[in-house]
Chains A and B, each alone.
Chain A
């Protein structure tokens, strides 16, 4: 690991000032992604601002009936929080589907939002990668690309966003609150991550010195919800495909639906096309299939990941079918 200047920030003001004063600085929280990338020399910051002691670790109820979650809250603490378990079970399920217990005890909410792709070529400095070194090429397109994206990709990058938590947050319409020396602003989760286009090294709409301070969830819907993850192993593996869904059925008709996908795109993928097809449609397997087909119609596959289209289709349909059954029992 390259040597770096280390700044321990006792408060947010110190943290954002230190980042503003040292271009290229990185914020360090749990370390589960950044320390790994620094050890591989994929990340080589001259300055590391340690934010792991910032007092942003609480869950508060908002006036509008939602929750405000501190960005330094550990993934395990958020998953186990009584208000999250009872009001947003999909979020608890998504958090618990990710990583291992040790990593969830370290990893923070803000860090999870900003975790980098697990594309093996991004990690391997012996291969070209537009995300790691813009202009060098993409080894994944003609390489081992079984885990790669089918939606929202570009000629420069086919890497997936690896988070489970973010898929649930996308379905829940979360809003991210950020701060820098100029002030604070709020960013809807859908606008936090960028698609790669021809600048895959730019992954978010944050300025380099902007710090995520909290995540706000709107009031929960009453509809049954679920996070379903399909992966190569039963545990401790990234998603091939995942689905976060909430479905409200009234008199056999879809009254409201939220649907987001993981493992298939460079960002947490809100399935707006599927939601459009489903809303007002009969809550039948036929509608669920039509919605999945509509969402997946623009899919572009590579040699290794063609299977993801059918896998995503089946996982969407199965998740919606389960939720429709659950709703009709209630």
Chain B
């Protein structure tokens, strides 16, 4: 598995999740364990550029894949989060950022969302679109207004 551009390897039991492999075996602690059941999004990483929750995949399934965590992200949305107060405690932020990077790529590819009026159209990233597309990332501090503003700023 490549993690943030570097070839890595580990001998793991098949029951080890991708999240635990990253955090406990490879020392990559950016992805956070919130709910460990796919509901909070704090463990979001990019696999081959697509956002997934790393708690619900087994590490063995990602053998040979390219995994990017917050440690490997260099994207304008990071500074935009700081400028727009897109965080308070910061626990959900690595997942929010990875999710936002994946989401902007999905939107650039023309993918619709549940907020899209006609699914055959290429939607613009309105606030409603951003909120819907980021609904897999919870923020207990409630920094949602800042998060939406940060993403809107980068999306232009």
Which residues on A are within 8 Å of B, measured CB to CB? 1-4, 6, 8, 28, 30-32, 35-36, 38-39, 48, 50, 52, 76, 79-80, 85-86, 89, 92-93, 96-97, 99-103, 105-106, 234-236
Q: B residues within 8 Å of A by Cβ?
A: 13-15, 17, 36-38, 41, 44, 50-53, 56-58, 60-61, 99, 102-103, 106, 109-114, 116, 118-120, 131-137
Specify which chain A residues have a CB less than 8 angstroms from the CB of B113 in the assembled complex.
96, 101
* A3–B135 CB distance below 8 A: no
Q: Which of A6, A32, A96, A102 has the most CB of B within 10 A?
A: A102
Complex partner residue of B111 from A1, A28, A35, A80, CB under 8 angstroms? A80
| Nearest B-chain residue to A8, judged by Cβ | B60
Q: Are B60 and A106 in contact (CB under 8 A)?
A: no
A-B contact pairs, 18 of them (CB 8 A): A6-B58, A30-B57, A31-B61, A50-B61, A76-B50, A80-B110, A80-B111, A80-B112, A85-B112, A85-B120, A100-B41, A100-B135, A102-B38, A102-B41, A103-B56, A103-B136, A235-B132, A236-B135
Q: Name the A residues within 8 Å of B103 (CB-CB).
A: 101
- Asked whether B114 lies within 8 Å of A106 as measured between CB atoms, the reply is no
With A80-B109, A80-B111 as contacts: A101 and B102 at CB distance below 8 Å: yes
How far apart are A83's CB and chain B's nearest CB, in angstroms?
11
A105 near B61 with CB under 8 A, answer no
| Number of interchain pairs (Cβ within 8 Å) | 108
- 10 additional A-B pairs beyond A102-B38, A102-B102, A106-B53, beta carbons within 8 Å, are A28-B58, A31-B57, A32-B53, A35-B56, A79-B112, A85-B112, A92-B112, A93-B114, A102-B44, A106-B52
Interface SS majority for chain B: loop
Query: In the assembled complex, which residues on chain B have CB atoms less than 8 Å from the CB atom of A96?
Result: 112-114, 116, 119
A4: chain B residues at CB < 8 Å are 14-15
Least Cβ–Cβ distance between B45 and chain A, in angstroms = 9
Residues of B within 8 A of A103 (CB): 38, 53, 56, 136
In the assembled complex, which residues on chain A have CB atoms less than 8 Å from the CB atom of B118? Answer: 89
Q: Is B61 touching A92 in the complex (CB atoms < 8 A)?
A: no
The minimal Cβ–Cβ distance linking B33 to chain A, given in whole angstroms, is 12
A36-B37, A100-B135, A101-B102 given as contacts; is B15 within 8 A of A28 (CB)?
Answer: no
How far is B118's CA from A85's CA once the two chains are assembled, in angstroms?
9
Residues of B within 8 Å of A101, CB to CB, are 51, 99, 102-103, 106, 113, 133-136
Given contacts A3-B15, A35-B56, A35-B58, contact A102 B99 (CB under 8 A): yes
Closest residue of A by beta carbon distance from B103: A101
Set of chain B residues within 8 Å of A76, measured between Cβ atoms: 50, 106, 111
